Structure 1
Amino acid sequence: MSIPQQGGGPIERFEQLAEYIESGCKPKDDWRIGTEHEKFGYCKDTLKPLPYDGPRSIKAMLEGLRDRFGWTPVYEQDNIIGLTFPDGSNVSLEPGGQLELSGAPLESIHQTCDEVNEHLREVQTVAEEIGARFIGLGAAPIWRHEDMPMMPKGRYRLMTDYMGKVGTHGTQMMYRTCTVQVNLDFASEADMVQKMRVALSLQPVATALFANSPFFEGKVNGHKSWRSRIWRSLDDARTGMLPFFFEDGMGFQRYVDYVLDVPMYFVYRDGKYINALGQSFRDFLKGELPALPGEKPTLSDWADHLTTVFPEARVKKYIEMRGADGGPWRRLCALPALWVGLLYDQTALDAAWDLAKGWDAETREALRVAASVDGLQGEAAGIKLLDLAREVVAIAEDGLKARAMPGASGMIPNEVHFLDALKESVASGMAPADELLEKYYGEWDGDLSRVYAEYSY
């Protein structure tokens, strides 16, 4: 989850809310790729999650990355809670100690994959020194809620209390799930709308291809992506498939109206999170927020509020693809390859929209559910997700070929090879969850603890 935003000064006109998002518009030559991925840290000998403090801890990881590799620390109330780097990348903490890299905005998947590789090598180095390891899965396979630490961030204390009032799975999401996502640019309002329609429609394909959470609390849970299942029972006011995006007249202002109707979590002031749970940003605009009576918001407050909506694809000054489980090392590069191939070439984008433009909201939601439950074996409204995934990956491949973005040496002509893991999945019909289940029922003989040794970074 996000660190406090630096969005700007006072909001003096209502139009500034949409203008803030619109300011993200960029010409195609300036489009970039930002990859984010989360991973679970655990103690190598006990297989328990890393606590925040102590010689073998999340704090020790952050301090080790700071001291060994030159990251700049970020503090909240004297606790180190993140790291930044001059290139724009940062490391942050999810509520249960999941370590997240938010990558720099880069030109190619070659570069973003190099960044991922370097980050994981740094993490491995520090983790080995303190007796820790990290693993990429969509959900913690064995740990229970009472096993999880809480990171010392005021935002998370507020959210934890609130989650139980608005849904049934909120704290599971916060403390025991991991994702990989990619952040991509748009050129204009119309381009944003087309990309978001494709992103929302095809997010179930990403969920199915990257499904990697068939276990929870030590048991097979009946879903290929339990992480996706969790999001369906979290908070209806701020999650889901955003059916209004497919209505006529969609644009920046319509998205602003949606976000304004999402209840607030907090206001960040002087290094502290002020409880504004359930309160209205519309009241804040009028100076009538109960948490800060008489005070009006800044653009930084608006930027913060934008980070508290959690649909399957999200708009800020860029678009976030949010449907995929965290996973193995090579799939951390496959996720940006999929979406860059689909969205950064106009012919591919049009082809992707042609696949989905005839679907109604019920079909899109049914595909979302089918992907969560059955992964690539899912089916809804007569659409087989494996067949759909095969078409989508082929379109992405064509898009990457058209981009023709070579590697640094020039020896690799494009970014197509980053799709190899997905091409293997559509050929075999198996996502990571299927491989995990095959091992669980086969060579592991039901011993789920073996996942740590075999699937850690």
Structure 2
Amino acid sequence: MARRITYAHLLTKPNPKHVDSLLKFFENGRSKRGTGGFGVEIEHLPVHNGDDTAVSYYEPNGIETLLKRIAPYYDADKEYWENGHLVGLARKGIAVSLEPGGQVECSLGILKTPEELLTIYRAFRRDVDPVLDELGFRLVNYGYQPKSSFADVPVNPKDRYDAMTRYLGRVGQFGPCMMRCSASTQVSIDYVDERDSIDKMRLGTIIGPILAWYFRNTPYFEGEPNPWPLLRQRMWDYLDFQRTNVIPGLFDDRFGWEDYAYDVLSTPLMFADLTHTPEAEGLSGKELHHPAFYENAADVYPDRELNPYEINHIISTHFNDVRLKNFIELRHWDSLPIARAERLTEIIASLFYVPQNRERLESYFEGTREEDVFEAKAMLQARGAQAAPYGQPLEFWKEFLGLEGLLADEPGDPNHPDVFQA
């Protein structure tokens, strides 16, 4: 097997019943089509109209007020409350949730074609924009807050985020920044079997940094011009290496679902979530969500098969560039305006779902190693537009990946942080 050896494996090995639970979860995620279908998540940064500073959940006419005002447009039985506060909404095709710093995430799908993205997203904006106008703020698409520092943004009222703050405030370099001020676009694709999923995860891991360059959208960091060519990559790569970056062993020929399950289950959880664990009934909110600096899943969850909520939580404590759930989640990109998000989804469709394109890419990248991906990512960070990831200049990749028409310059207008300047 392709398993790595880390200190985590020497503490408590994965429970075999937990491993089987993840393998069944992945198996049940198999798509009968495998030739289409997307999920797109776009996170938005809330900023005041007057000065572009961050809007918090708690302030008068803030994020909580926004959610309550748009709640009538969503299904009453799909409202999500925590500690007496509304934190999520859903209806067919759209789910609205919150990231730690009040970032408003709009999850759209399942989409059959990239073109459907714009239609569904417009329905979201049709409901939310008139309310935003009345409340005096807007939702912008940047990878990081344009004016505010992480220290100025309170965490929203989910217990999990208190626990996460306690963990990420003690490891890595960018934990509080990522939680409170960053925003992303993520595209999910399907798979037909284990081999198909691993091949797509490898391909997504290889080309993701290049696509991130062409879809970068972070002019600002902590109220100043952003000093890093790819801030989102920089934040995640320096966050907590045992749960970020490239999946360990992914490029080993023997790598499979069991190896991925073993890695996920062996790593400390960051924080435990026992809200859907029947054996934990009666515990307080802080006990149901607590930091897990050393505890992995076997230390936290009972000796039985895991339920879907527990599985999703365990996987969600890993933030690899590409993440396997019961779908494949590509996580490289900054928050994008809808036209750019649609273009990104079109490119993903072309590269992963058009057989001749995928075969061409897999043939070209045959033999690529984990360290090659690390080198490509480091080169993009160090040399920016002059980088030559995988030995080729960016102009080569622009043509090879079908990115014609995309600008190579950093987007953004400092006077209008919600407008992409084409």
Structure 1: gaps (5+ residues) = 1-10, 288-294, 394-421, 440-447
- 1:81 is matched with 87
For the residues of structure 1 that align with 2:221 and 2:34, how far apart are their CA atoms?
43
Which of 110, 117, 134 is the aligned partner of 2:122?
117
- Percent sequence identity is 25
For the residues of structure 2 that align with 1:75 and 1:360, how far apart are their CA atoms?
45
User: Would the aligned equivalents of 2:143 and 2:335 in 1 still touch at CA under 8 Å?
Assistant: yes
For the residues of structure 2 that align with 1:352 and 1:184, how far apart are their CA atoms?
17
User: Would the aligned equivalents of 1:195 and 1:349 in 2 still touch at CA under 8 Å?
Assistant: no
Query: What is the DSSP-based 3-state SS (H/G/I as helix, E as strand, rest coil) of the residue aligned with 1:143?
Result: coil
- 2:408 is matched with 429
Which of 28, 34, 40 is the aligned partner of 1:35?
40
Which of 305, 316, 323 is the aligned partner of 2:332?
323
**Structure 2 CA distance for partners of 1:224 and 1:118, relative to 1, 3 Å:** farther
**Aligned ranges for residues 261-272 of structure 1 at < 5 Å?**
261-264=266-269, 265-269=271-275, 272=285
What is the Cα deviation at residue 165 of structure 1? 2.1
Between 1:264-273 and 1:344-353, the stretch displaced more is 264-273
Query: What is the DSSP-based 3-state SS (H/G/I as helix, E as strand, rest coil) of the residue aligned with 1:167?
Result: coil
- 2:365 is matched with 356
What is the Cα deviation at residue 335 of structure 1? 1.9
Which of 299, 302, 314 is the aligned partner of 1:283?
299
The question of 1:172 aligning with 2:177 is answered: yes
Between 1:64-73 and 1:137-146, the stretch displaced more is 64-73
What is the Cα deviation at residue 453 of structure 1? 6.6
What is the Cα deviation at residue 30 of structure 1? 7.8
User: Would the aligned equivalents of 2:19 and 2:258 in 1 still touch at CA under 8 Å?
Assistant: no
Query: What is the DSSP-based 3-state SS (H/G/I as helix, E as strand, rest coil) of the residue aligned with 1:156?
Result: helix
Which of 313, 316, 322 is the aligned partner of 1:307?
316
For the residues of structure 2 that align with 1:263 and 1:159, how far apart are their CA atoms?
12
Under a length normalisation based on structure 1, what TM-score does the superposition of the two structures give? Answer: 0.80
Of structures 1 and 2, the one scoring higher in RCO (CA 8 A, sep 6+) is: 2
The question of 1:244 aligning with 2:269 is answered: no
User: Would the aligned equivalents of 1:343 and 1:349 in 2 still touch at CA under 8 Å?
Assistant: yes
User: Would the aligned equivalents of 2:41 and 2:186 in 1 still touch at CA under 8 Å?
Assistant: yes
1:300-352 deviation digits (Å, cap 9, x = unpaired): 21221111100000000000010011122311212221212111122221112
Which of 406, 410, 416 is the aligned partner of 1:451?
416
What is the Cα deviation at residue 374 of structure 1? 5.0
Structure 2: gaps (5+ residues) = 1-15, 277-283
Q: Letter of the aligned partner of 2:122 in structure 1? A: N
Query: What is the DSSP-based 3-state SS (H/G/I as helix, E as strand, rest coil) of the residue aligned with 1:37?
Result: strand
Between 1:105-114 and 1:36-45, the stretch displaced more is 105-114
What is the Cα deviation at residue 276 of structure 1? 4.7
**Aligned ranges for residues 97-246 of structure 1 at < 5 Å?**
97-246=102-251
For the residues of structure 2 that align with 1:12 and 1:255, how far apart are their CA atoms?
15
- 2:54 is matched with 49
The question of 1:343 aligning with 2:352 is answered: yes
1:164-220 deviation digits (Å, cap 9, x = unpaired): 222111111111111101111100111101111101111111211111113212322
User: Would the aligned equivalents of 1:203 and 1:368 in 2 still touch at CA under 8 Å?
Assistant: no
For the residues of structure 1 that align with 2:18 and 2:54, how far apart are their CA atoms?
46
